[in-house]
Each structure stands twice: as structure tokens, then as C-alpha cells.
């Protein structure tokens, strides 16, 4: 019966569990960090590489500043002010460049770096956008679209530009 209290945590005696399993704290911490890192990296789809003037990112109802290094997620909306411009590199190496007074929504993004297959849908609601397509569109030209209020552009080539006026 000497070992009966090894796994028991009684009132005011939490040290018995820790003494019996000293590595338990480290294992639990490592698992929590791994879970958080996996969720965070799975949601990230690209990064702001150039940010000039006013650049913001709308995410989950919040408005965040958009400095260089900001990681972007599906459903983010990137906005530039009258003095703003932004350069974005997506995880498939697509390059997006939005000019002043632009509103760009990253509607859908899925990318498998092993096969280069995926889907990328964005919407330009206002402003200007230049795109150099990455591995998704090169693997499957129908897999990338940019919507505007009046048209849906299917990316067939590697470069294009579009402008949406008020």
C-alpha cells in the first residue's frame, strides 16, 4: 500500500502527483505549444512583404495594422489608404500588389506544397491589383480567380492587373 498515494492529489497536497511524474508538466506544455503552433500555421496563408502608408488588415471584426511581416489568413481583408500600397507574398509564391485606396479580400486559400495543387479566390472590391500567379495557378490555371463587383477573372496566364473604380 506504500505506492497508493503516488497518483493521488489531495487537498493541499498537489506535490505528490508532481513528485511521481516530474516530466508531466513538460509533456503537457510541449503538447499545448504544438497544438497552438499547428493551428496558427495552418491558418496562415501569406505575408505582407511591402507596406507603405496606411495599410490595415480586417480579421474577425477587428482592424489591425498591416506592417511588413504581418501573416495573413483566409477571410482577411487588406485595405490601403489614399497614401497606401501593399505587397503580399502568398505561400504558393503568388505575388499580389495593391495600390492606394484598395480593398482586397482573401476569400479562399488552400495549398498543398507537395503537389502544388490548391485553390485561391480573392475579391478586389475597390482600387488596383497586380498579380503574378504562383504555383497554384501554374499547376491548374482554373484554380485561381479574382472577383470584382462586375466580373470574375480566371487566371490563365502568369501576370495581370485589374482596377475597380467607385
Do residues 47 and 88 make contact, with C-beta atoms less than 8 angstroms apart? yes
CA pair distance 126, 99, nearest whole angstrom: 10
Domain annotation covers residue 93: yes
Chain position carrying cell 472590391:
125
Residue 20 domain-assigned?
no
Confirm whether 6 is domain-assigned.
no
Q: Is the pLDDT of residue 4 over 60?
A: no
The answer to whether position 15 is within a domain reads: no
Residue 31 lies in a domain: no
Answer yes or no: is 156 within a domain.
yes
Q: Which position has the higher pLDDT, 91 or 5?
A: 91
**18 lies in a domain?**
no
Q: How many domains does the chain have?
A: 1
According to the model, what pLDDT value does residue 135 have?
95
Average pLDDT over residues 11-27: 53
Reported as a single tens digit per residue, the pLDDT across 99-140 is 999 999 999 999 999 999 999 999 999 999 999 999 999 999
Name the one residue in this structure whose C-alpha cell is 497508493. 4
The predicted pLDDT at position 42 comes to 42
Alpha-carbon span 78 to 101, nearest angstrom? 10
Q: Which domain holds residue 110?
A: 45-164
Q: How far apart are CA 123 and CA 144, in angstroms?
A: 11
Q: Could you tell me which residues come within 8 angstroms of residue 11 by beta carbon, excluding any fewer than 6 positions away? A: none
Residue at 124 is within a domain: yes
Amino acid at each position: 500500500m506504500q505506492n497508493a498515494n503516488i497518483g493521488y492529489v489531495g487537498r493541499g497536497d498537489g506535490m505528490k502527483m508532481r513528485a511521481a511524474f516530474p516530466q508531466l508538466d513538460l509533456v503537457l506544455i510541449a503538447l499545448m505549444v504544438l497544438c497552438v503552433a499547428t493551428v496558427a500555421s495552418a491558418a496562415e496563408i501569406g505575408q505582407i512583404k511591402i507596406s507603405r502608408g496606411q495599410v490595415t488588415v480586417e480579421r474577425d471584426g477587428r482592424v489591425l495594422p498591416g506592417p511588413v511581416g504581418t501573416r495573413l489568413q483566409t477571410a482577411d481583408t487588406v485595405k490601403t489608404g489614399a497614401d497606401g500600397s501593399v505587397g503580399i507574398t502568398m505561400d504558393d509564391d503568388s505575388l499580389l500588389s495593391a495600390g492606394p485606396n484598395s480593398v482586397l479580400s482573401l476569400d479562399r486559400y488552400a495549398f498543398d506544397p507537395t503537389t502544388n495543387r490548391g485553390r485561391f479566390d480573392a475579391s478586389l472590391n475597390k482600387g488596383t491589383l497586380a498579380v503574378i500567379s504562383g504555383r497554384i495557378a501554374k499547376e491548374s490555371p482554373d484554380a485561381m480567380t479574382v472577383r470584382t463587383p462586375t466580373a470574375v477573372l480566371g487566371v490563365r496566364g502568369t501576370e495581370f492587373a485589374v482596377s475597380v473604380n467607385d
